[in-house]
């Protein structure tokens, strides 16, 4: 199975689905990542560009990711980019990786770039209906990104409501934390959501919800039988 994780910024992919990516790769599936703003130039505590690229490669290599596709969309300014450009970039990534299952941000996420990535992804995953030669999409899932998704303060929008739980086990959670630690300046001391304790606690909580030993949770919003 070919999986594609589409995110706004470097580290979002690990925060949202790092343990799942590791598990899928270990099981022999192909996991690819599309990062819309590859250089996140407006990020606080951002390392030098060559260091950031090294962090991305090291982190995703640890998780078994096959290919990383990076865009150059402006960090925290996706709302200024024509929607069609975002959609077409994601469509191209889907074609290139022959994606069958796509993970992306939840649309009620507080982060503006996360929102617009989600909206563009929702449009892009219809590509197989317009282009018969494109691999049919089997599933689209929204993920939770700690320190962003839980800050969905606009209650007029539907909040993240997980209905899909993937058991990952403690080893995969530890790999997720190790991969995040390879991103310079990302991790924080507890009780920040991007701390070792909080990330492991979230995986334990999501696992407990579904009777599993550590899990990552997702909201499946489109699924074709397979």
pLDDT in tens, 44-97: 778 888 999 999 999 999 999 999 999 999 999 999 999 999 999 999 999 999
pTM: 0.96
Q: Is the pLDDT of residue 118 over 90?
A: yes
- Percent over 90 (pLDDT), the chain: 89
CATH number of 2-223: 3.40.50.10320
Q: What's the pLDDT score for residue 29? A: 98
Is pLDDT above 80 for 14?
yes
Which residues lie below 8 Å from residue 42, measured CB to CB, with a gap of 6+? 74, 75, 76, 77
Of 102, 127, 84, 147, the C-alpha closest to 7 is 102
Rounded percentage of the chain residues whose pLDDT exceeds 70: 99
Mean pLDDT score of the chain, rounded to an integer? Answer: 95
Q: Domain extents for the chain?
A: 2-223
At 135 the pLDDT is 86
pLDDT of 39 strictly over 90? no
Q: What is the pLDDT of residue 156?
A: 85
Mean pLDDT value of segment 87-116: 97
pLDDT confidence of residue 167: 98
Angle in degrees, CA 38, 44, 48, rounded to 5: 55
pLDDT at 17: 98
Least confident of 25-34, 98-107, 151-160: 151-160
Helix (H, G, I), strand (E, B) or coil at 168: coil
E strand map for 81-214 = 101-105, 139-143, 164-167
87 vs 26: CA distance, rounded Å: 30
Q: How far is CA 44 from CA 4, 21, 76, 100, in A?
A: 27, 26, 12, 35
Q: Is 138 helix (H, G, I), strand (E, B) or coil?
A: coil
pLDDT (average), residues 30-38: 97
Query: Do the Cβ atoms of 143 and 104 come closer than 8 Å?
Result: yes
Q: What is the pLDDT of residues 162-183, one digit of tens each?
A: 999 999 999 999 999 999 999 9
Separation in Å, CA 8 to CA 50, 105, 144, 172, 173: 19, 8, 13, 23, 22
pLDDT for res 226: 61
pLDDT at res. 216: 98
pLDDT recorded at residue 195: 98
């Amino acid at each position: 199975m070919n999986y594609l994780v589409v995110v706004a910024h470097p580290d979002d992919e690990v925060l949202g689905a790092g343990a799942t990516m590791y598990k899928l790769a270990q099981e022999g599936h192909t996991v690819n990542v599309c990062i819309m703003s590859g250089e996140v130039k407006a990020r606080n505590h951002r390392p030098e560009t060559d260091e950031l690229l090294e962090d991305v490669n090291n982190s995703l290599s640890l998780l078994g990711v096959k290919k990383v596709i990076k865009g150059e969309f402006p960090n925290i300014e996706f709302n200024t980019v024509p929607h069609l450009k975002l959609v077409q970039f994601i469509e191209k990534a889907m074609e290139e990786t022959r994606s069958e299952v796509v993970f992306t941000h939840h649309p009620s996420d507080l982060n503006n770039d996360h929102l617009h990535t989600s909206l563009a992804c929702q449009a892009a995953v219809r590509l197989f209906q317009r282009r018969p030669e494109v691999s049919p999409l089997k599933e689209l899932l929204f993920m939770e990104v700690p320190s962003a998704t839980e800050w969905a303060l606009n209650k007029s929008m539907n909040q993240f409501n997980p209905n899909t739980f993937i058991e990952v086990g403690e080893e995969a959670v530890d790999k997720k934390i190790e991969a995040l630690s390879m991103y310079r300046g990302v991790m924080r001391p507890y009780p920040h959501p991007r701390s070792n304790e909080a990330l492991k606690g979230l995986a334990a909580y999501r696992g407990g919800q579904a009777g599993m030993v550590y899990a990552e949770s997702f909201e499946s919003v489109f699924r074709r039988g397979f």
